Structures are given as C-alpha cells and as structure tokens.
Chains A and B, each alone.
Chain A
C-alpha cells in the first residue's frame, strides 16, 4: 500500500507476478470496503484525541480522558498504516507517547500537539484514497 502512486518508478525492476497482482487488487478492494465500514470509528477516535488536546489548554484534562486518549492513539497507531496511512500511524504514535507521559506539558508542547492532532484528524477524514 502506497501513499502516492505518482512516486513509483516507470519501470519496476522487480515486477510483481500476475497472480500476486490480482491478489493485491482483490485485497485492496476488500480493504477499501473495510475502511468504509471502519471510517466512522477511526474518525471518532481522532476527534476524541483532538478534544483531549483542547482540554490541555487551561489544564482541564482529567485522568479518565487522558487514558482514553492514550488508548485511542494506540489503536489508531496500530491500524492506520495497515489501511495505507503510515503518516497517520506516526502521528498517532507521537500522540500516544505525549498523552502517556507523566510530566505535564508546557504551553509550547500543548500548541505543538494540538497542531499534530489537527493534522491527524485531517488525514483520517481524507482517508487512504483521498487527494
């Protein structure tokens, strides 16, 4: 699964056998259908992370919401790359580490994680087949 097919070389030095190509196409079709079914949950998790990030301003994030954020980030990190969103996995991993740490973030770190979470939300909203 690739993010940008335009970056592929014109001539593949190690071509995929025809039977594997058809398996890949079949798998991609099935993955697309599964993404359509899973999208709602994934978008909800990204939204929960954004809400948790917003609560950091003014120190309003409670322990239960922080733990939910860790869990949501962990789940997103585990699945987004499989759906063809490796950047989403990287962003979710950063969020998992951020919300899982014991030291309180400073103002600059809060601003940085809010930007990251907004990017993550945009990515999952767009989906693996988006422009």
Chain B
C-alpha cells in the first residue's frame, strides 16, 4: 500500500535523506516542509497519513508545531512522530504527554526508517 507521509524539518540534508529513504525503500509518497508553519499548512491541505516532525527548528520548534497540529480540527487526527537527536528522559515524557505517536532518534538508518515508522504506527502492511 502506498502511504503518504509529511516530513517537517528545517535541515535540508535530513529532509532529503528521509525522503529518498521512504520513497526508495518503501515506495511511499513523501511531502516536504522546511518549517513548522509550512508543515501545518501542508498537513491541513494535503492530509498525510502521518507526520515526521523535527524537534529543534528555528522560529517554531517541533513541540510548538505539534501542539498547533493537535489543536487544529483538520490535522488533530494525524499521528505525529517526533524526530530528535536528543535522548534525555524528561524530554521523552513531555513529548508523550503532548500526544506524540512515537519518538524516533537521529541519526536514523535510511534503510530501516520506513520499518521504524510502520512499527511505531502499527502499519502491518509494510516491511
């Protein structure tokens, strides 16, 4: 099944690696946004099945973007996976309380990223 996923990350490298990984390995459709603001607009307009959201971004960071997505009726139902290079426990607890579906860590393995996302979201039709 072709999935559609939105990647929100200010880092060009990360967006491109994640996109080529999900497109090449899993055959998913990938939408891209380079800021929280752009991501919210794309999520509302394109209704992806999941969102991969970077934590540390300038202007609007990942947690703020997540709260706005969850507060918006048109995007509240979309599962959000946070992508972070930080691994501290207090951060993880805070994110869980904010309604995040899962936390994935950078650096990720491009060959298994789709499997990680599928496993986290219970998508049994993939890898």
Contacts and interface: CB of A to CB of B under 8 A. Distances in A.
Q: How large is the interface on B (under 10, 10 to 19, 20 to 34, 35 or more residues)?
A: 10 to 19
A27 interface: yes
A13 B13 CA distance: 34
Contacts, number: 61
Contacts of A89: 107
Which among A27, A78, A86 has the greatest number of chain B C-beta atoms within 10 A? A78
Contacts of B11: 75, 78-79
Q: How large is the interface on A (under 10, 10 to 19, 20 to 34, 35 or more residues)?
A: 20 to 34
Chain A contact surface mostly: helix
Which among B24, B107, B110 has the greatest number of chain A C-beta atoms within 10 A? B107
A23 B24 contact: yes
Given A23-B24, A30-B20, A41 B111 contact: no
Interface string A27-70: 10011001000100110000000000000000000000000000
24 contacts: A23-B24, A23-B111, A27-B20, A27-B21, A31-B17, A31-B20, A31-B110, A34-B13, A34-B16, A34-B20, A38-B13, A42-B13, A75-B11, A77-B107, A78-B11, A79-B11, A79-B13, A79-B14, A79-B17, A79-B107, A81-B107, A82-B14, A82-B108, A86-B107
Smallest CB-CB A-B distances: 5 pairs: A81-B107, A78-B106, A78-B85, A82-B107, A38-B13
